[in-house]
Amino acid sequence: MEWQPIETAPKDGTRILIGRLDGNVGIDAIEICDWYVIERSHYEHVEYDLYRKVMDEPNESWNGNGHRATHWMPLPDPPVSK
Model confidence over 27-66: pLDDT tens digits?
A: 677 889 999 888 888 999 999 999 999 988 888 888 877 7
pLDDT, position 26: 65
Pure H helices in 19-82: none
pLDDT given at position 23: 67
- The pLDDT, as a whole number, for residue 47 is 92
How many Cβ atoms from other residues are within 10 Å of residue 43's Cβ?
10
Strands 4-5 and 71-74: antiparallel
